[in-house]
Each structure stands twice: as C-alpha cells, then as structure tokens.
A and B are shown apart, each in its own frame.
Chain A
Amino acid sequence: MAYRIRRGLLERTFEQLRVCGCGRNECQALWVGPVGHPEEISRLIHPQHDASPVGFQLEEAWLTRFWLDMARDGLSVRVQIHTHPGRAYHSATDDAFPIVHSPGFLSLVIPNFATGPVGFDRVFLAQIADDGRWQEVAIHEHLEIE
C-alpha cells in the first residue's frame, strides 16, 4: 500500500523544515492519520525539539503530551520526516531512536536541510522490517504525491 500525500501537505512539510532549520539545523516533522483509516495521512505535526547541524532530539515533555493526545484522539504516526545537512540516508541514530518502532513504520530523510525542490528527488525512505531492522525501500511503493 502506498500513502497518497497531498501536494499541499508536502509543500507545508518542506516549508516547516526550512523555516525551523534555517538551512543550518536538522528538523523533524511527522505525518499522522486516524487509527481507523490506516491508509490516510491527514495532518502535519512539527514536534518541539532541540536541534543542531548534525542532529535533533524531541523534548521529553512535548513527547509525553503528544503520545497521550494520540491515544486520546485515536491518531497514529504514519511517517517520520527529518532533514540531513548533506545527503539523505538512515544513520545509526535514526535507526535507534525513531518515534515508532513497529514493523512497517516509514522514515523519510530529506537532504540539504530541505532547501532543494519540493518532492522526493534524492530523498531516502527506510522502513522497519518484521525483524525490527531498518531497510531502504522504494519510494514509489510507499509514497505517492497526489
């Protein structure tokens, strides 16, 4: 199954990553959707986080509130998105500390602090396999721009 991403959501995601990261810091965004509609991505979330040119970490208090809100509202994180300063790949830190650890979860990495064209050019998409390991997957099989 491929998630259908509205172009407007993708544009807002790039804008958020650029504004927050200012071309010099990493940033994370989340795409979430209702638990009852597992194929749907309905909302962009911009977590509160600390960031540097080489990494980011979500604020613990924000993470706790967000996780409780997700449980109360019946929402799931479908895809985590974050920027890298240079090329896009999934680092050891990215592997170890995702927001969701379930098989099938997707992680999209965008190069050059998202300062390039809006789209999936030169991005990296990873997915958690059934054995819990991350593996690179083909973007067109999982994400389609509407």
Chain B
Amino acid sequence: MANDKDKTAKFGVTVTYNGLGKSLEVNGNQSLNAVLQHALKLFGVTANPSGFRLLAEASGAELNLNQSVEDAGVVAGTRLVLAPRVVSGGI
C-alpha cells in the first residue's frame, strides 16, 4: 500500500519541444501516453497525438508510451523531448 501511495505523488519533469523547455507535473502511475498528451496541450499543439513520441534527453532513447512513468524510469527532474514521428512533404 505504501508503494502504491508513493506512485501517486506528483513530481516535476521538463519537456522540451522545438528547443523550448517547460515544466510538467507527473506521477509514477501515469502512462507516458498521458504525459505526451499533457505535453502537447502545454505547447498548444492540436495535431493528432499519434504523430508524436517522447525521447529521454539523457540517453536519446524513444520511450514506450504504454509504460508508466515509474516503469520507464522517469524521475523528478528527468528531461523529456517531445518529437514528431514523421516529417514529410509533397504535392
């Protein structure tokens, strides 16, 4: 029970999009997909969330959005990068 309670405690991470960093409060139980959706709102992005991913700034690894914050190893002060999945153009 004590561990479950700890997982609901909020802590701060930094999400960077297009070079600009912003603070976001998360908790260990949250899915990274929920974190991504909050991050999109934070930056005023209304595009389909499936077009984005979260990267761990320190390792450069793409995070599995189905994982929880805790399971992904995200802790207070972690820096995440919000990135597009696909960039293309054409006629």
Contact = CB atoms under 8 A, between A and B. Distances in A.
B58 to A, nearest CB: 10
Contacts of B85: 60
Chain A's interface size range is 35 or more
A77 B43 CA distance: 14
A22 to B, nearest CB: 17
Interface of A: 26, 28, 35, 47, 54-58, 60, 63-65, 67-68, 70-77, 82, 84-86, 91, 93-94, 97-103, 130-132
A68 B21 CA distance: 12
B18 interface: yes
A64 B88 CA distance: 14
A71 B19 contact: yes
Interface in B1-54: 16-21, 43-47, 51
Interface in B29-86: 43-47, 51, 55, 57, 60, 62, 79, 81, 83-86
A131 B21 contact: no
A63 B51 CA distance: 13
B90 A64 contact: no
Given A35-B20, A70-B18, A102 B88 contact: no
A102 B45 contact: yes
Given A54-B91, A73-B19, A98-B87, 5 more contacts: A54-B90, A67-B84, A70-B18, A74-B19, A103-B44
